Amino acid sequence: MKFGIEFVPNEDLNKIVERVKLAEEVGFEYAWITDHYNNKNVYETLALIAKETETIKMGPGVTNPYVRSPAISASAIATIDELSDGRATFGIGPGDKATFDALGIPWEKPVSTIKAAIADINTLLAGEKTETGAALGGVKAVQEHLPIYMGAQGPKMLETAGEIADGVLINASNPKDYEAALPLIKKGIENAGKNVADFDVGAYTATSIGTDSEKAKAAAKIVVAFIAAGSPPMVIERHGLPEGINEKIGACLGKGDFGGAIGLIDDDLLHAFSVAGTPDEFIPKVEGLAEMGVTQYVAGSPIGKDVEESIKLLGEVIAS
Ligand SMILES: C[C@H](OP(=O)(O)OC[C@@H](O)[C@@H](O)[C@@H](O)Cn1c2nc(=O)[nH]c(=O)c-2cc2ccc(O)cc21)C(=O)N[C@@H](CCC(=O)N[C@@H](CCC(=O)O)C(=O)O)C(=O)O
């Protein structure tokens, strides 16, 4: 199992860089930086990480094909690849509707749009010209293929990821979600005549680890509330959760009643939408994900009550 870690660039970037350096030290192989227009810029954040680290790979986890043209994304990730001496990786997803509504960007045909974007980015990174004549020149074309991951959850997006990407990052923390996703991804891989063994299935989890199980679980509750509220009824049913619980939690969040939303998060919801607890509780859960075909465990927010302490504890899980 490979291990990755996610950071949201909405805090002091120097702190994020220090945390990535610590993650590199304890054995993490990937650092994924989220991309939302209202946070600090993903590529500036990655550039700082590239300059301050030696071995960890880094990339957007995940950008989208709407806020930047494929050529701008290709130039940005090629620059990170040059700065990091070949350690860049690139995560791209369809983005989310709320973002594009706020930006006044029409969110149309996400599957076709992402397919076209990844084709152009691969062309440009290989030092070739796109159909419209765009070509990188002032930034080194990447030596060998730069791995492209897709952020995906929907069935068509998962199959598309298998077909055109080198890996997938799925916002899910429970083996049941991977049991449902893997056949779709494998269908795409087989359609493209690729080898399943070459494909990286990333579990982009809501992680909260600590020496005190209850405190670790409590730290995960607000994140779980947002995930549960955004989950379609099919996912609620998949996890055997009470029908309509997503709406109930969403109603609390919508009113700003975060205490009420957190009060609705029980152990079943925590188990469905996060990996939370002590290192001893983590190991069987990571093994359970591996059994379902997950090949990269990504520790996503909140990581833990004390992030530095939690990164070190995850290092124990990596070493186990
Ligand atoms: C578009 C959507 O795909 P989805 O995979 O469910 O999208 C949900 C999320 O993956 C998407 O919002 C991501 O961008 C969210 N996301 C992030 N989104 C961000 O904006 N920033 C982030 O940093 C971020 C990180 C992230 C990490 C992991 C991850 O899994 C997702 C992440 C969907 O509805 N897909 C369906 C519909 C299919 C479809 O798109 N049909 C097209 C027709 C086909 C065509 O497009 O040609 C249509 O609607 O017109 C499906 O896959 O079956």
Find the CATH number of the domain harbouring 95.
3.20.20.30
DSSP structure string for 177-196: HHHHHHHHHHHHHHHTT--G
Q: How many secondary structure helices (H) and strands (E) does the chain include?
A: 14, 9
The reported pLDDT for the residue numbered 143 is 62
Residue whose C-alpha is closest to residue 167's, from 291, 42, 27, 294: 294
Tell me, yes or no, whether 226 lies in a domain: no
Q: 151 alpha carbon to ligand 1 midpoint, in Å?
A: 7
Ligand 1: nearest atom to the Cα of 168:
30
Number of folded domains in the chain? 1
The reported pLDDT for the residue numbered 136 is 93
Choose the residue to mutate in 107, 157, 159 for probing ligand 1, maximizing ligand atoms within 8 Å of C-beta.
157
Check residue 39 and report its DSSP letter.
S
The reported pLDDT for the residue numbered 145 is 85
Instruction: Please identify which residue in the block is written with the tokens 């702190």.
Output: 15
CA distances from 57 to 29, 33, 91, 273, 317 (A): 6, 11, 12, 26, 19
Give the separation between CA 121 and CA 119, rounded to whole angstroms.
6
15 CB under 6 A from ligand 1? no
Give the separation between CA 310 and CA 296, rounded to whole angstroms.
18
Tell me, yes or no, whether 139 lies in a domain: yes
CB 90 within 8 A of CB 33: no
Instruction: Please identify which residue in the block is written with the tokens 């955004």.
Output: 230
Q: 114 alpha carbon to ligand 1 midpoint, in Å?
A: 9
Give the separation between CA 60 and CA 42, rounded to whole angstroms.
6
Q: 95 alpha carbon to ligand 1 midpoint, in Å?
A: 6
E strand segments, the chain: 2-7, 30-33, 57-60, 90-92, 148-151, 167-170, 200-209, 275-277, 296-303
Coil, strand, or helix at residue 276? Answer: strand
Give the separation between CA 190 and CA 197, rounded to whole angstroms.
11
Give the separation between CA 270 and CA 210, rounded to whole angstroms.
15
- Residue with CA at minimum distance from ligand 1 atom 34: 154
Tell me, yes or no, whether 31 lies in a domain: yes
Instruction: Please identify which residue in the block is written with the tokens 């299935």.
Output: 201
Tell me, yes or no, whether 236 lies in a domain: no
Is the omega angle on the peptide bond into residue 94 within 30 degrees of 0, that is, cis?
no
Ligand 1: nearest atom to the Cα of 60:
23
CA distances from 287 to 1, 16, 201 (A): 9, 28, 14
Tell me, yes or no, whether 100 lies in a domain: yes
Coil, strand, or helix at residue 85? Answer: coil
Ligand 1: nearest atom to the Cα of 159:
52
| Low-confidence stretches of the chain (pLDDT beneath 50) | none
62 CB under 6 A from ligand 1? yes
pLDDT tens profile 77-100: 999 999 999 999 999 999 988 889
Tell me, yes or no, whether 148 lies in a domain: yes
Give the separation between CA 295 and CA 178, rounded to whole angstroms.
11
Q: 66 alpha carbon to ligand 1 midpoint, in Å?
A: 12
Q: Which two tokens stand for residue 147?
A: 């791995």
Coil, strand, or helix at residue 28? Answer: coil
- Work out the mean pLDDT of the chain and round it to a whole number: 96
Count Cβ atoms within 10 A of the Cβ of residue 144 and give its class: 0-12 exposed, 13-18 middle, 19 or more buried: exposed
313 CB under 6 A from ligand 1? no
Pairing of strands 167-170, 200-209: parallel
Instruction: Please identify which residue in the block is written with the tokens 């700082």.
Output: 48
Provide the residue range defining the domain that includes 60. 1-208+277-317
Tell me, yes or no, whether 270 lies in a domain: no
Tell me, yes or no, whether 281 lies in a domain: yes
Give the chain's length.
Answer: 320
